[in-house]
Amino acid sequence: MLEPDFAPPARSPWGVAALLLATGDAIAARFGAVAVRGELSGLVRASSGHCYFTLKDASGASAVLRCAMFRRAASLLDFRPADGQQVDLRGRLGVYEARGELQLVVESMERVGAGSLYEEFLRLRARLQALGLFDAGRKRPIATQPRAIGVVTSLGAAALRDVLTALQRRAPHVPVVVYPSLVQGAEAPAALVAALQLAGRRAEVDTLLLVRGGGPLEDLWAFNDERVVRAVAACPLPVVCGVGHETDITLCDLAADLRAPTPTAAAELAAPVRDEALAALQLRQAALRRAVQRVLQQQAQRVDTLGLRLGQPGRALWGQAERLNALQLRLRQALATRCARHAEEPALRARRMAAAVQRQLQRAALQLDAHGHRLQALDPSRVLQRGYAWVEAADGRPVVSVHSLQPGQAVRAVWADGQAGMAVQHIEPLLPSR
């Protein structure tokens, strides 16, 4: 069969970017500005001010729509958007070429109301917080060098593989005990409580990891169940909770002793890096070896010095002889100085004694003159020189009262220049004055 001379040209294939661009233009031309209602999920506010989130169907269907709200539109919001809130969005549909996903560029957002699960979450958080289950004072430190680590999660969960991989990489020497449990569904809360209680009773690990991968709020709801939250708070082991992604917050995160943003981060927070610990041990070993060598060198130098001193005893004796001669010279000088001082002491003491005797004699002469003046003042002859007379009886005793005289008694009167004998003729006593 002969081939025809002319064949129509085949249509050239699309490039990926061109196809996505054309699809985006078609969607924008078909729909233009749209309004949509749904529930916020996975909200992230970037440092640039842009907001990225997923809008879930309000009726509970599994459909989701990726959304982006740039800084200018986000700055006009009159409320703070959060996961679980029901909102009305207005914007333009398009295709995000970097991932080939349908995306809604949001130009305005109005709050319709909070989702029922999110409202229940807020009510339960407020009640448990009032009971003190989230207080920072009751949180315990995590063991820095655990002997064993426990993991509470599902055996088929990707979170378990992430945790085991991280632990194997960081601390392969630390044994891991898995307490299997459901992590999603109506039976998950009871299973989680049983696993936590089992780990607490067995007490075979130092740190307990409670982990699960990310998902919407309803998939993570088992970790907001009051029974599970109370079991985490009552667990006798320190609990590290790593549920969902970094933006997912559960009540178990608040009740745990430490919250990790992801399951992998929980494993990293619970286990030390073996290589870093070995490096630290090597540094300490090297420092200890240097310290021991330094001490040994110092002692070796000391031994060498003592050996040199023992090997030349004459030098030591010569030094002691010099020291003895110096002491002998000092002793002679001290003796000469002391003898000279003692030789001068007798003359000095004699001079001091003569001066003291002279001062004593002068004081005695002054006292004698004073006593002589007092005696002269008391001399009766001086009184007689002033015209008075001294009367005494025949036996020489002084007559001091008229009551000692008798009429006709012989007496003698003594004056300063002589005396005369007299006889008492009569006595006239003086009457006492009134």
User: Model's pTM, two decimal places?
Assistant: 0.46
The reply to whether 200 and 255 lie within a common domain is yes
pLDDT at 164: 93
pLDDT tens by residue, 272-326:
876 666 677 778 888 898 899 888 888 888 887 877 766 666 666 777 888 888 8
Q: Where are the alpha helices (DSSP H) in 97-180?
A: 116-130, 158-170
Helix (H) or strand (E) holding 107: strand 101-114
pLDDT at 316: 67
pLDDT at 10: 55
Residue 75 resides in a domain? yes
pLDDT at 408: 82
The CATH number linked to 84 is 2.40.50.140
DSSP state letter for 396: S
Q: Closest Cα partner for 244 from 185, 183, 166, 191?
A: 183
Neighbours of 256 (CB within 10 A): 27
Helix axes 116-130, 226-234, angle to 10 degrees: 30
286's CB contacts (< 8 A; 6+ apart) are: none
The reply to whether 92 and 152 lie within a common domain is no
Structure tokens at 221: 């709801």
The reply to whether 151 and 257 lie within a common domain is yes
pLDDT at 86: 84
* C-alpha–C-alpha distance, residues 305 and 303, integer Å: 5
Q: Which of these three, 98, 116, 134, is where a domain ends?
A: 116
Structure tokens at 37: 């209602």
Residue 369 resides in a domain? no
The reply to whether 61 and 170 lie within a common domain is no
Neighbours of 163 (CB within 10 A): 28
In this structure, what are the phi and psi dihedrals at residue 411, rounded to the nearest 5 degrees? Answer: -135, 170
Q: Which of these three, 275, 310, 325, is where a domain ends?
A: 275
Per the CB < 8 A criterion, the answer to whether 209 and 271 are in contact is: no
Helix (H) or strand (E) holding 231: helix 226-234
Q: What single-letter amino acid sits at 165?
A: T
Query: Would you call 394 helix, strand, or coil by DSSP?
Result: coil
The domain containing residue 90 runs over which residues? Answer: 16-116
The CATH number linked to 173 is 3.40.50.2300
Helix (H) or strand (E) holding 332: helix 313-378
pLDDT at 69: 94
Residue 29 resides in a domain? yes
Residue 328 resides in a domain? no
Q: Which of these three, 239, 255, 275, is where a domain ends?
A: 275
The reply to whether 94 and 164 lie within a common domain is no
Q: What single-letter amino acid sits at 17?
A: A
Residue 184 resides in a domain? yes
Q: How many domains in the chain? A: 2
Residue 411 resides in a domain? no
DSSP state letter for 246: T
Q: What is the pLDDT along the chain (434 residues), one digit of tens a residue?
A: 444 444 445 568 888 888 888 887 888 778 878 999 888 888 998 999 899 999 988 776 778 899 999 999 998 887 888 887 888 899 999 888 888 888 999 999 988 754 567 778 888 999 999 999 999 898 999 988 899 999 999 998 888 999 999 999 888 889 999 999 999 888 999 999 999 999 999 999 999 999 998 877 778 889 999 999 999 999 999 999 999 887 778 999 999 999 999 999 999 898 887 666 667 777 888 889 889 988 888 888 888 787 776 666 666 677 788 888 889 889 988 888 888 877 777 878 888 888 888 889 899 889 888 888 888 777 777 777 677 788 888 887 887 787 778 888 888 888 878 888 888 888 888 776 65
pLDDT at 4: 46
